[in-house]
Amino acid sequence: MFIVIPYLTSNPTIYGIYTVCISISSFLVYADLGFVSAGQKYASEYFAKGNRDEEIQVIGFTNFILVSFLILLALAFFYLSFNPNLLIKKLATGNELIIASQLLFILAIFTPVTMLQRLSQMIFAVRLEDYIVQRTNILANLGKIISVLYFFRADHYDIVGYFLFTQVLNFLAILSVLIIAKKRFKYDILRLFSSIKYNPAVFNKTKGLALTSLFSLASWILYYELDPAAIGKWIGAKEVALFAIGLTIMSFFRSILGTIFGPFSVRFNHFIGTKDHDGLKELCFTITKVTAPLIILPIVTLILMSPSLIVSWVGIQYTESIIPAKFLIACNIFAFISYPGSLLLMAQERVKLMYFVNALLPIIYWGGISLTYSTFGLNSFAFFKFFAFSMNALVYALVLVKFFNLSLIQFLENYIKPIILPILFLFSSYYLFSDFLPMEKSKLNLLVVGAYSSSMLMISFLVLYFSSSNFKGQILNMISLVKNT
């Protein structure tokens, strides 16, 4: 991210067009109508019971639903590629129209590949071995980073070629993962593909949870995915670029958090499949307690350092991104509550509460924007994204407090009290030296800001280590486990 974004942002308008195209490509994740997430839950339970036949049937059917709607989305992207002005306002020049059209056309061509990606991820995820998928993605992403030096060299800005190259690398990575699955698990890939068809038995089993997941996905789209498209349609591509800086950092954290918490979703379903309630409760409590400081302290550091970080990273022309970025970065600060809480509700199939929680996000977000946008502009989008996340986390906190049988005082002692001193250190160390931090775009300045941020964060963890006996004990236990492995 830190290597690629400065090259892309050198032309704010074109970067805004690219951001809109990337944002609508995120709709591909939701094309399964909730059946893939529901199917993964049941596939995990079948795997825990050793029933591969049922596992394949579930994976095949859910990906049949996915590919059916991916084809419809591909057709929509084809249409938009010939009419890009329907998607992005203020495309003033012929070059901007051509770039937008080409990006949308490439997106349409590679849309069906999403099915292969989700299918391969499910195979590894239900076995708690999706780290193999991540390793393959790392290699592909290294290729994307290196390719920047070719596509964005002096007097050469080929964002279309870069986008096409990244899509090809994604496709090759997916093929590699499927080959690994066939060899590692002796997985019958041909049988799996033959199972990509309508299956009434699997449909009846998954439809209840899938409808809940679909509602969740619809709410998530309204809350999380539409703002770049809305800003591009209502205001313009340049404003999308300003908003996208904070959104990029937010998405970066989201990717990390998804990687961290994803395997626990499968493990929760394993506990449900084997009816181990105590094991589920113990794991859920451990996750929230361990991840709280690991999430809060880095996010507080980034919020404090965002002015110097953004200017040294993408330049002075993006100073208007600083305030929105602070709120967008803060959106993930309660992830140690919201991620385990949502995984718990999904595993327990608490459908009504899931409907309520997911309805909150878009209502609070777009309601707040409609009331305040005329006054606060882009800042309104960022603030209400954070506010909606916070209200969502509050509901999950109440769910977890009840599940753990904790009082409010016990909750605060477990999660808030240990990090007070480290947070005070972060604030004091930032404000003591903030006047000396660089405020000019350059690789050296970015390294300086990164080094200082890392130093602040590392010392804050040392403060936590020596001030919290619980955290110290957790670290020592993890070190002991690593030594004994």
User: In the prediction, which pLDDT does 129 show?
Assistant: 83
Rounded Cα gap, residues 151 and 159, in angstroms = 7
Stretch 355-375: mean pLDDT: 83
User: In the prediction, which pLDDT does 2 show?
Assistant: 59
Nearest Cα to 358, choosing from 223, 210, 207?
Answer: 223
> For residues 171 and 113, is the Cβ–Cβ distance under 8 A?
yes
> For residues 376 and 361, is the Cβ–Cβ distance under 8 A?
no
Nearest Cα to 3, choosing from 104, 117, 144, 107?
Answer: 144
Rounded Cα gap, residues 291 and 474, in angstroms = 11
Stretch 327-346: mean pLDDT: 88
Average pLDDT of the chain? 81
Q: How confident is the model at residue 480 (pLDDT cuts 50, 70, 90)?
A: low
Stretch 386-405: mean pLDDT: 88
CA dihedral 103, 107, 110, 116 (to 10 degrees): 140
User: In the prediction, which pLDDT does 387 show?
Assistant: 93
Residue 180, CA distances (Å) to 60, 98, 112, 187, 214 in order: 18, 39, 21, 9, 31
> For residues 58 and 39, is the Cβ–Cβ distance under 8 A?
yes
Its pTM surpasses 0.75: no
CA dihedral 95, 98, 101, 105 (to 10 degrees): -130
Token couple for 109:
């061509």
Q: What is the pLDDT of residues 47-81, one digit of tens each?
A: 877 788 888 888 888 888 888 888 888 898 888 88
Residue 224, CA distances (Å) to 27, 71, 152, 328 in order: 11, 23, 29, 11
Helix (H, G, I), strand (E, B) or coil at 82: helix
Nearest Cα to 56, choosing from 37, 38, 35, 39?
Answer: 39
Burial label, 2 (beta-carbon count in 10 A; 0-12, 13-18, 19+): middle
User: In the prediction, which pLDDT does 171 show?
Assistant: 92
Q: What is the pLDDT of residues 235-271, one digit of tens each?
A: 666 777 788 788 888 878 887 887 788 777 777 777 7
Nearest Cα to 396, choosing from 368, 366, 363, 358?
Answer: 358
Residue 294 has pLDDT above 60, yes or no: yes
Lowest mean pLDDT among 114-128, 228-242, 465-479: 228-242
Rounded Cα gap, residues 358 and 363, in angstroms = 9
Residue 459 has pLDDT above 90, yes or no: yes
User: In the prediction, which pLDDT does 27 show?
Assistant: 63
Stretch 143-150: mean pLDDT: 86
User: In the prediction, which pLDDT does 476 show?
Assistant: 73
Q: Residue 2: CB partners within 8 Å, gap ≥ 6?
A: 313, 446, 450
Residue 43 has pLDDT above 60, yes or no: yes
> For residues 400 and 337, is the Cβ–Cβ distance under 8 A?
yes
Rounded Cα gap, residues 395 and 373, in angstroms = 26
Handedness of CA 311, 317, 320, 321 (dihedral sign): negative
CA dihedral 106, 317, 257, 73 (to 10 degrees): -20
Half-sphere exposure for 107 (CA within 13 Å, toward CB): 28
Stretch 82-99: mean pLDDT: 72
Lowest mean pLDDT among 51-60, 86-95, 372-381: 86-95
Token couple for 132:
């193999």
SS3 content of the chain, % helix, strand, coil (to 5): 85, 0, 15
- Residue with more model confidence, 208 or 340: 340
Q: Cα-atom radius of gyration of the chain, to the nearest Å?
A: 23
Residue 33 has pLDDT above 70, yes or no: no
